A = this chain, B = another copy of it.
Amino acid sequence: MPEAKKSAGAVDPALIDDLVAASHILAHHGVLDAWGHVSMRHPKDPQRYLISCARAPALVKAEDIMELDLDSNPVAGDDRRMFLERFIHGEAFKARPDVYAVVHSHSPTVIPFSVTEEPLRAVSSVASFLACGCPVFEIREPGITKGLLVTTIKQGAALAKVLGDKPVALLRGHGNIVVAPDIPRVVHRALYTEVNARQLSTALSFRKPIKYIEPDEILDPQRLGDSWEVWKREASKGA
């Protein structure tokens, strides 16, 4: 157990509000159930990240946000109960300097793709980020499993290795990890991974060849316009 560290400093409350809203939005849309989580890299120190204490996403409040180092240890003096699977986030931030936001979810329609050899590929322009492929993490393979949860640095690092440079990876029989350069985009990707999974399931049921979105058709919006605003508004009304 390393010595606990001091905080990297205060964070703009608007950013914290966005982090909290992300949990509410994804819970509102059924992407997060009572156990998923959203995190963001600390804006003042890339070796830290921010995530709620153990709390159902729909209930998260600004005061629940904790600061962790990339080994997923809390800063000094914070002894709140933490998510067992926070290592999913810490190891993704470690392995991917380009990533500023991470979601781990039990996204319901993603599960069927995680337990079969049917790849989750993009059929919708709004989910074109999936066109570069969506790997599946098999926790038994690294020889590190005890059950299906990712609860250690070693397991989190193995997952991050499977994720590679992709925006989404599935966890077999468990859910997914979604990463992005900011909070609105990680919400967009988590939401449309689910929507695209539903659409692909239907398309597959027709038993005809599918024209997937090709990598050269990927749209990567630099900003989400007021999609972010409408998602926040819907979630706050449903909350």
Contact = CB atoms under 8 A, between A and B. Distances in A.
Given A206-B118, A227-B35, A229-B59, A123 B217 contact: no
Contacts of A147: 125, 217-219
Contact of A213 (B108, B148, B233): B148
B210 A116 contact: yes
Interface in A148-190: 148-149, 172-175
A100 B111 CA distance: 31
Contacts of A96: none
A117 interface: yes
A112 B199 contact: yes
A222 interface: no
A178 to B, nearest CB: 17
A2 interface: no
B226 A116 contact: no
Nearest to A192: B33
Contacts of A174: 124-125
A209 interface: yes
A55 B226 contact: yes
Interface string A116-142: 111000111110100000000000000
